[in-house]
Structure 1
């Protein structure tokens, strides 16, 4: 489909196909310029309200916030439109900047002043572009100002689960020049909040592997010591079955559907690209049996990047995910939420 101006009907985007909403959409990472949030030719939809008007916690109250899916105190809640459409900046067409709404940021544009893009045909405010430092570059289309239009052409069918490993790109855990991927930090933070909610306040064991690297240190720090009462293991297409307690499963990268796992007591969805790396990446290094590597043997050049510090889930993404789980009202989980909120760096 394409998206058109709801006022004059002018086409505002290239042809795009829907993908799952990214865990790192609202992440703020570092001080440099980040790449686009979405791949060219794709769009995503935010189910939660976003943008003005904003109401403070004192104006909302706990009951009204819980009705909107927020179960612990936050500074403010948006009462803006639901269904905001995100696209890659390069897929935008036929718009002009609203200059008075383009100020206040550091190295680019942000959403602090509301819509900063208007339809070039009729002048209707239609979108906000975000590309400031530390923000993923994206254009958010206002659902009240645009409408979807189906167009002729080959449809992009959703991948079958069995094709996921071959067809969908893996998200590497380490970026150049040796820093942990912010996509991993966000995806693990969202899943970590759900693991804690399902733990019941008891220790969770994680078998060796990438999942253990990402989850075990924080789980061991936030949960009490002692014998584990739950076990977190990877499950999904291409992995052997078997009875599981907590299953870490992929979320479909296009539809957002959670992989159905019938042999687990509970499932924890994880972004597909991160799950693929955890499930199928071989961490073992080849060691030559002789004194040197024979000529013609494939070798890593340059060698795989290694991180220079321990992995740490994104604290802000974690707190945002935890605030939207009803279990956070339990005293033990609320205590974890408050601990991370007060000391995010040392707690995770």
Structure 2
């Protein structure tokens, strides 16, 4: 566990946190309602791309410079803030105060449009941007140059001189990629993490599913190579089916999609051309099957777990039965009140960062979705 401290005065700015992968929904904008915190308590993640203002429009940046930054299709604008912003849940912050003249928002809270709006309470240095307006996941993004990462047990009473070498070592790897996860962690995935039910109590599709499917859909289009695909019956058809029907041709041989990953039998990959596999929630590593030619499509672990190990409660026991006219009094599985639509912005953001989007057929798909935001399936 680590804490983040002010780079200027060494004041502690967070509680103890451990690093996890940045969720694909980090930059999701969802409706006009208040969303919960993006990060679980006691965790942090790092955004490798530049974050926050200043922004420059695509026409000013140009395709060549954008491609050098890993963006291969036109986007409204690109951030020229510092890369490596650290995101935590608002409840994990300590010792910060709002900067009154930077508290603009769109509707019900702060949207970070003016840059850092939180200052260190001890030295008044701007250190972070809090976002809690409607449509956004609640977050606090620390400016990478304004904070240091130090071990939790040395945070109290540390001084800049005494910990200069430790801070330099910590800063050197604070924003580097994590090492690949071990096989033991994959084996424990289903025990340590829970699947996210696709439907909320009100009958709406869960925002996490809309973001996860939007991101996976971009990878799935690349894996399809422009050919139609065949999905297994059930939740995958409900969530991916309409989008794939709208974005891919209908004729010709279909590439078969299946689910693979830790805890599933190797036979799950039999006769599968494209495998939906989990992205580890701690490291961001994508699970890789062995001895198969199937293309791999990453799916957020909380969504993948529900797809791979569904836990819907049947109204009657699977075996044995109940007396005639008697049913379980458990609540029936929730059913959505509308057809599923993947998150369009997450889809476009993901696809724009895949080099394959430069292929003419896939660029045509990207342009159509970007230019016609309210057409099927979005």
TM-score (norm. length: structure 2): 0.86
The answer as to 2:320 corresponding to 1:291 is no
Moved more, 74-83 or 260-269: 260-269
- What are the equivalent positions in structure 2 for 1:45-56 lying under 5 Å apart? 45-56=46-57
Counterpart position of 2:274: 246
Cα deviation for residue 228 of structure 1 reads 3.2
Separation (CA, whole Å) in 2 of partners of 1:94 and 1:300:
49
Separation (CA, whole Å) in 2 of partners of 1:290 and 1:302:
19
Counterpart position of 2:304: 275
Separation (CA, whole Å) in 2 of partners of 1:264 and 1:218:
25
Write out per-residue CA displacement over residues 264-306 of structure 1, whole angstroms, 9 at most, x where no aligned residue. Answer: 4321111000000000105573445642227xxxx35332221
Separation (CA, whole Å) in 2 of partners of 1:74 and 1:103:
24
Counterpart position of 2:34: 33
Separation (CA, whole Å) in 1 of partners of 2:96 and 2:311:
46
Cα deviation for residue 58 of structure 1 reads 2.0
Structure 2: 5+ residue runs without aligned partners? 155-180
Separation (CA, whole Å) in 1 of partners of 2:363 and 2:93:
42
Q: Secondary structure at the match of 1:197?
A: helix
Q: Secondary structure at the match of 2:314?
A: coil
Counterpart position of 2:285: 257
Write out per-residue CA displacement over residues 13-54 of structure 1, whole angstroms, 9 at most, x where no aligned residue. Answer: 000011111111111111111111111111111111111222
Contact 1:52 1:80 in 2 (8 A): yes
| Inter-CA distance 203–284: structure 2 relative to 1 (3 Å threshold) | farther
Separation (CA, whole Å) in 1 of partners of 2:293 and 2:190:
22
Separation (CA, whole Å) in 2 of partners of 1:104 and 1:221:
36
Contact 1:33 1:135 in 2 (8 A): yes
Contact 2:312 2:333 in 1 (8 A): no
Counterpart position of 1:152: 153
Cα deviation for residue 239 of structure 1 reads 0.8
Counterpart position of 1:223: 248
Structure 1: 5+ residue runs without aligned partners? none
Q: Secondary structure at the match of 2:304?
A: helix
Contact 1:110 1:131 in 2 (8 A): yes
What's the RMSD between the two structures over aligned residues?
A: 1.8
Moved more, 285-294 or 337-346: 285-294
Counterpart position of 2:204: 179
Counterpart position of 1:4: 5
- What are the equivalent positions in structure 2 for 1:296-307 lying under 5 Å apart? 299-307=328-336
Separation (CA, whole Å) in 2 of partners of 1:282 and 1:19:
26
Separation (CA, whole Å) in 2 of partners of 1:151 and 1:256:
23
- What are the equivalent positions in structure 2 for 1:1-348 lying under 5 Å apart? 1-152=2-153, 160-241=185-266, 242-243=269-270, 244-262=272-290, 263-282=292-311, 285-287=314-316, 290-293=323-326, 299-348=328-377
Cα deviation for residue 105 of structure 1 reads 3.0
Cα deviation for residue 194 of structure 1 reads 0.6
- Equivalenced residue count is 341
Write out per-residue CA displacement over residues 235-286 of structure 1, whole angstroms, 9 at most, x where no aligned residue. Answer: 0011111443211100111011111212243211110000000001055734
| Inter-CA distance 120–175: structure 2 relative to 1 (3 Å threshold) | same
Separation (CA, whole Å) in 2 of partners of 1:38 and 1:284:
29
Separation (CA, whole Å) in 1 of partners of 2:37 and 2:313:
32
Separation (CA, whole Å) in 2 of partners of 1:78 and 1:145:
18
Separation (CA, whole Å) in 1 of partners of 2:36 and 2:305:
21
Separation (CA, whole Å) in 2 of partners of 1:43 and 1:231:
37
| Inter-CA distance 60–107: structure 2 relative to 1 (3 Å threshold) | same
Q: Which one has a larger percent helix, Structure 1 or Structure 2?
A: 2
Separation (CA, whole Å) in 1 of partners of 2:221 and 2:67:
20
Contact 1:339 1:347 in 2 (8 A): no
Moved more, 333-342 or 186-195: 333-342
| Inter-CA distance 290–301: structure 2 relative to 1 (3 Å threshold) | closer
